Structure 1
Amino acid sequence: MFQTFRNAWKIPELKNRLLFTLAILVVYRLGSAIPVPFITGSALNQMFSNGNMLSYLDMMSGGALSRCTLFALGVTPYINASIIVQLLTVAIPALENMAKEADGQQKMQQITRYVGGVIALVMSLGYYFVIRNMGALKYTSGAAGIFTAVVIIATFTAGAQLITWCGEQIDDKGIGNGISLLIFSSIVSNWSSVYTTVTGLLTRAAAGETRFYILLPLLLVLALVVIVFIVVMTNAERRITIQYAKRVVGRKQMGGQNSYLPLKLNMSGVMPIIFASAMVSIPGTIGSFLQIDQAAHPFWYAFFHTFNYTSLLYIVIYLLLILAFNYFYVAIQYNPVEIANNLRRNNGSIPGFRPGKPTSDFLTRTLNKITLMGAIFLAAVAVLPIILGNLTGMSIQLGGTSLLIVVGVALDTTRSLDSFMTMRNHKGFLG
């Protein structure tokens, strides 16, 4: 492993990509530590300690949201924009045709940027009113109040767009998926809260709740088991044998060899959980922004309170959205009919199935089974910590999601680095 890193540093292109990725991550973390002017962030601590949906957004931003920094919104606007654009691509034929053009992906990326900018502006407006209602602004009236509002909203919006640009630069000039790496760095930088959680549990145990002396080691063992489980399930794949018929081209005989079509169990990675979390957090986030009083509006208070991540309704909706987004993400990545047609054009076939419709039907059934197993895996990792946290009273609801994102992004980045090493005849991580 260490020898591989030394070999990587000997390749100028790979070394430059690693340094560029590291530089972007450093800029991102610096921006997450610089506070926006005219705000006293300490006034918001109470709001983020109540276990509402802003806790999830704060985790995705690495604590930048609770501190009101330049990158407070994190990558959430871009993620929501990606969800909307992908759904519209399936629903609107014009966008679907555009995506299939030669430069279609660039056009779709540009549309996603614009949608992300609008979402960032809306979120900036909402967050401005939240911090205003919490009394965290230095100026709220007159010309100074208007200037303060413009500066804060513009800074939040520009910060979100800058993060999107940074992620795209990593995609082009760095290693791994840019947006995923930014989320990874946010979660890792916020894991100092683990120490706070552990000390809090030990304090409760010393105060007389002795069950935490047993639960704490069990949680540590469970976390290690979950990490191993995630690694195994992420790398698991179904290999479908492909046979190619022999054919003569000129004086040479081509084909006749066997290959395989790899279908990964977890094809969509962490994206279904990120998408589902973003969608299910919308009602709770709106409720946090509105700061509805229970005495004045009991119905709306109860409605928004049901979307707290400790509620049963949240768990059910979260579970269903993970299943739906996993199927959706796999559907836009794999087309069994197109795969079957490509095999037939290249004189390839799956043993036991005729080319054409029988092959596409077999691929469809296989994909459905694999997708279901992958969706159950993602749902278990994301939902079980919420249930366990509710039963034990410990704040580990976001632990499964954090572990899955961190491990998934680490594996994806490792594979990207390994591909660069393999292309240059070096021993890679996975070789």
Structure 2
Amino acid sequence: MKKFIETIKNIWSIEDLRNRILTTLLLTLIYRAGSYITLPGINPNSLKALGEAGSKGILGLFNMFAGGSFARASIFALGIMPYISASIAIQLLTIAVPYFQKLQKEGESGRKKINQYTRVLTVFVTGFQAFAYVAYIKTQFAGAMIANYGPLLFIITTTVLLTAGTLFVMWLGEKITDKGIGNGTSIIIMVGILARLPQALLQEISTRASEGPGGWLKFLVELTAFVFITIGMILLVQGTRRVPVNYAKRIIGNKQFGGVRQFIPLKVNAAGVMPIIFAQAIMFIPATVIGFAASADAASGFMRIFSDHTNPWYNVIYAVLVIVFTYFYTALMFNPNEMANEMKRNNGFIPGIKPGEATANYIGAVMDRITLPGAFFLAFIGILPGLAAATSMNTAFATFFGGTSLLIMVGVILDTLQQIESQLLMRHYDGMMSTGRIQGRTTTTPAAGF
């Protein structure tokens, strides 16, 4: 405890770090305040039905990423999701389109152009989603609209405000990245998720308290399970396989370059949270299509599978999709050929492996082997909320027992701690852990160019 207090004092004594933390807190506070400002033309007292709809299916996923703004019909109802969608689309284009591949290799100037394309695409994506959101409210929740507010005026003002709101949230994220402690977009998503935790915890406590002494014992077991699940999640996020790389010794003048062993840290979960998000989106499609069908009774059995996340068949299909998407997304984001070529250009080689194609095959084989257990564990994490809800746990609290919520929170918190620790170590202070460094994040020195 004494070391922790001393670390907090060190953090506060560094003016630059203190200003960055305060800036981050201020910007996230602005974001949370804006998430409670209701759109003009909507009666805030009539949003109960929208809130219930916003807690289920694909809308529940949007509502989670928007920090509850979707269900409150706020000016930040679309949150940061349109920017995330645009970023993923541009990221995929850098793999498939030569022009974007060239931009990616141009360094800082190329990165600025890619960011500009991402912002422009965000405007179009947000405009489309804003119009769809307006149509959704008018069709399903017309009672929430103020009667004397003109329909055309509502469409125009709501579309403009939602687009402006998303662009403002995107600006907040970029400012947190530049002026704050970094990872602005991720911090905004994490803050929205964490905002739901106190209420979910209180609901679970209230439910267990009404069950008497046996309920408190169940709650203690749930907290213990939550701690162990979080530990397992940290291991998944931080887990790496270090591939040794030697660099040829070069002597230029009186100085020696290279001749040292470094490591390429290959992550066990290189795909991050994307496989779970993709799998959830796919699982929502059948229920959405059947919901528009003329006769839902004819497919009631099919509906039960894809609309009940506690159903065994739902969890089996969901787990398989997570495993498939883990390999798919890892293959998109991880390029062993480019890595091998970069090593060859820098006179690096893996001991016992020939440079070039043999190195690429070796790195690809290692990545396939470590992705398998990572994919299975990620699938298990993905179905945990459904398993937890099946044990009579409160649904809101069960969503934190794995899945997207916990994975994002753990990943972002670890990244944020690593950013703060880097600032401390750079100024010759002790790190935030007793060992002086957060393990598994930046403990290894990757090869040049990665």
Contact 1:35 1:68 (8 Å CA) reproduced: yes
Structure 2 SS opposite 1:372? helix
Structure 2 partner of 1:52: 56
1:281 shift after superposition: 4.6
The letter for the 1-side match of 2:63 is: D
Q: Sort the Cα spacing of 1:314 and 1:71 in 2 relative to 1 into closer, same or farther, 3 A.
A: farther
Cα distance in 2 for residues equivalent to 1:309 and 1:123:
26
> 2:225 pairs with 199, 222, 225, which one?
222
User: Which secondary structure does the structure 1 equivalent of 2:182 belong to?
Assistant: coil
Return 365-374 or 337-346, whichever deviates more.
337-346
Post-superposition CA distance 1:56-108 (Å, at most 9, x none)? 22222222111111211112222222233333333333333333334332222
Change (3 A) 1:192 1:89: same
Letter in 1 for 2:18: K
Note if 1:25 corresponds to 2:28.
Answer: yes
Residue type of the alignment partner of 1:242: V
Report the CA distance shift for 1:300/1:34 in structure 2 as closer, same or farther (over 3 A).
farther
Alignment of 1:162 with 2:171, yes or no, is no
TM-score (norm 1): 0.85
For 1:337, the equivalent position in structure 2 comes to: 337
Q: What secondary structure, in the 3-state scheme, does the structure 1 residue paired with 2:150 have?
A: helix
Match of 2:362 in 1: 362
In 2, are the aligned partners of 1:44 and 1:131 still within 8 Å (CA)? no
- In the alignment, structure 1 segments of 5+ residues that lack a partner are none
Give the one of 403, 406, 420 matched to 1:403: 406
From 133, 137, 157, the equivalent of 1:151 is 157
TM-score, normalised on structure 2? Answer: 0.82
Over 3 Å counting, the alpha-carbon distance change for 1:258 and 1:393 in structure 2 is: closer
Report how far residue 365 of structure 1 moved. 0.6
Q: Please say if residues 242 and 350 of structure 1, whose CA atoms lie closer than 8 Å, have aligned partners that are also in contact.
A: yes
The CA deviation at 1:147 is: 1.3
Alignment partners' CA distance in 1, 2:332 and 2:111? 14
| Distance in 2 of aligned mates of 1:346 and 1:87 | 27
Establish whether residue 236 from structure 1 lines up as the match of residue 239 from structure 2.
yes
Aligned pair 1:78/2:83, yes or no? yes
- Could you say which residue in structure 2 is the equivalent of 1:308? 307
Matched residue, 2:417: 414
Shift of 1:200: 5.5
Q: Report the Cα offset of residue 304 of structure 1.
A: 7.4
**CA-based RMSD:** 3.2
Q: Which residue of 1 aligns with 2:177?
A: 171
**Identity across matched positions, percent:** 35
Q: Which amino acid aligns with 1:46?
A: A
Conserved? CA contact 2:50–2:72, under 8 Å: no
1:339-364 Cα offsets, whole Å, 9 max, x none, are 32333333332222222222221111
Q: Does the CA-based 8 Å contact 1:24-1:170 persist in structure 2?
A: yes
Cα offsets for 1:259-296 (capped at 9, x unmatched): 22222223343344345445655666x66xx985x876
Q: What pairs with 1:109-148 in structure 2 (closer than 5 Å)? A: 109-132=115-138, 133-139=140-146, 144-148=150-154
SS at match of 1:261: strand
Report if the CA contact (8 A) 1:247-1:253 is conserved: yes
Look up the match of 2:444.
Answer: none
Query: For the structure 1 residues 283 and 165, does the alpha-carbon distance in structure 2 shift closer, same or farther, using more than 3 Å as the test?
Result: farther
The 5 A counterparts of 1:260-275 are 260-275=263-278
Following TM superposition, by how much is the alpha carbon of 1:419 offset from its aligned partner in structure 2, in angstroms? 1.8
Q: Distance in 2 between matches of 1:382 and 1:88?
A: 28
